[in-house]
Each structure stands twice: as structure tokens, then as C-alpha cells.
Structure 1
Amino acid sequence: MSSAPAPPSGGPPPPGRRHRLRARWADRHALPPFGFWLLSKGAVVLAVCAGLYVLNGFMIGWADAYDVMTGITSPAAVRIPWCAWPLSVTGWAAIPAVIGAAAGYVITEQIQAHRTRELSDVLDELRRLAEPSGPPPSSGGNS
């Protein structure tokens, strides 16, 4: 029995998983600004917040970690306060900042998407409407 040689392939082999992931990561710059921010800086902030929450969940308990993060309980009132203070500051400052940034960006994008006229055009129209007009037309009736 003779084995026939395999026919040559029509091109390069398909890219591997690592290459595809690297290409996707490089394509993140094509995202809108909010998507890019969320994948780059926002993901880091959220990962730190999640890491602190998980650490505190194991150290002081999940219910206490939630209460400290949301500001219901003081970090000084839990079993291990040194661990709860960073979670408290994160829940008080970082999480609202991320949510505010996201909301501000979405609102700004919606406003810009619905803006159909340039500001200079609007100002020119307002100036034209504010100019005094001539005398009012006469009623034409003789009484």
C-alpha cells in the first residue's frame, strides 16, 4: 500500500487561540471611548473593588463586607477594621465615581447624537428673531 502525499493547503493555517485573543485585545482601540475606558481603566478599578470585597468577605464575613462597602456599618465596628477600611473607602469613593463617569459619558453621547444643528446656526437664528421688526401691518378696515 502506498500512501499518497497530502495535497498542499490553500493558505496559512488558521490562527491559534492565543493569536486571536491578542488580535482582539489590539482591536479594543476601535471601540467607542466609553467601551475602551471600561476595558482598560474601568476594569482595573472594578477588579480592585471586587478583590477588596472578596478579601473582606473571607476575613469579616460576607454580610459585614456588604454593610461596610455600602456604608451601613462603620469599618471600625467590625472584627478586623484594618481590612475593612480600604473597602469602605472604595465603596464610598471609587464605585460612585465609576458609576458617575459611566452615566456622564452615556448622557454626553446621547446629547451629541441628538444635536442636529451647530451652535453658531442656533445663535444666528436667535439674533435674527431678536431684531426689531418694522411697524405692524395696518388692519385695512376704515371705521
Structure 2
Amino acid sequence: MATPSPIPPPPRPGRRQRIGAWWAGRHALPPLPFWLLSRAAAVVAVCAALYVLNGLLIGWVAAYEVLLGIQSPAKADPQWCAWVLSVVGWLVIPAFVGGTAGYVISAQIQAHHARELDAVLAELHDLAAPEHPPPAGPGDGL
């Protein structure tokens, strides 16, 4: 009797399928990493692209100084891109960092406030007034 030929394994998914599966799997992440991958990546990409554009047009040192507010964008040439970079450096980046830090801090606070106040107070009351007094020790006058 002839032995059946073994079934070959399925082909390995292509790069496009693997990237698509990874992108679809981001929903399983906790809220902060999900937000960083989905929404914050766009903000970071726009800020980085604007910095690179300014670095190519006005020079890297000047773009850095305009971004940090060391140099006025009015001194740069061309000014149109330097003004946009200056606004990003003064408004967008601090708001982004502050919003991210606020989210992380509020998530930590909510994680520590998971217990109800009444349950915590009842536990403290039980610890402060036990039903049975502690056993008498050597110095208790017995």
C-alpha cells in the first residue's frame, strides 16, 4: 500500500499581511500605548516633518533655535516655515507632553482609587478595634 504524501505547511504570510495583523492587534494594547501608536504618532510625525523641512530650508541650528524659542522666526529666511515651527515649539509640543503626562498621572490615580472609601474605612475600623483584645504580655501586671 502506498503511503500518502505529507501535506506541506501553509505558506508563510507575506510582509503586508504581517504588518496588517500587527496593526489590527494594537487594539489589544492598554489605552496609553494604543493612543501613542494610533493618535500620537501622527502628531509626532507632523512635528518631525516640520522640523526636517525647516532644517533643510533655514539650517539645522536655526531650526533648533526657532523650535526652542531661542531665535526669533522673524530672523529666519524663509519666515513662513519658521513661524509655523515656532508655533509648534510653543504650543503643540508642550500641550502634547502635558496631555500625555496628565493622562499617565490620572491613570495611576484611578488605579489606586479602585477601592471604595467605605470599604477602606471599615477595614481601618476593624484594625483599630479588634474583637478580641491582644493577649497579655509580661509587662501587663499579671
Instruction: Give the TM-score taking structure 2 as reference length.
Output: 0.75
* TM-superposition CA deviations, 1:68-113 (whole Å, max 9, x none): 1111111111121111011011111111111111101111121122
- Where do residues 44-123 of structure 1 align in structure 2 (5 Å cutoff)? 44-119=42-117, 121=118
State which of 5, 15, 22 in structure 1 corresponds to 2:13: 15
Which structure has the higher relative contact order (CA within 8 Å, separation 6+)? 1
Instruction: Give the TM-score taking structure 1 as reference length.
Output: 0.75
Per-residue deviation, 1:116: 4.5
Aligned length: 120
* TM-superposition CA deviations, 1:34-87 (whole Å, max 9, x none): 111111111111101000100100111111101111111111111211110110
Any stretches of 5+ residues in structure 2 without a counterpart?
126-142
CA distance in structure 1 between the partners assigned to 2:65 and 2:85 by the alignment: 10
Any stretches of 5+ residues in structure 1 without a counterpart?
130-143
- Paired AA for residue 52 in structure 2: V
- Paired AA for residue 70 in structure 1: L
When the two chains are superposed, the root-mean-square deviation of aligned CA atoms in Å is: 2.3
Change (3 A) 1:13 1:76: same
Residue of structure 2 in register with 1:31 after alignment: 29
- Percent identity between the two aligned chains: 61
CA distance in structure 1 between the partners assigned to 2:62 and 2:79 by the alignment: 11
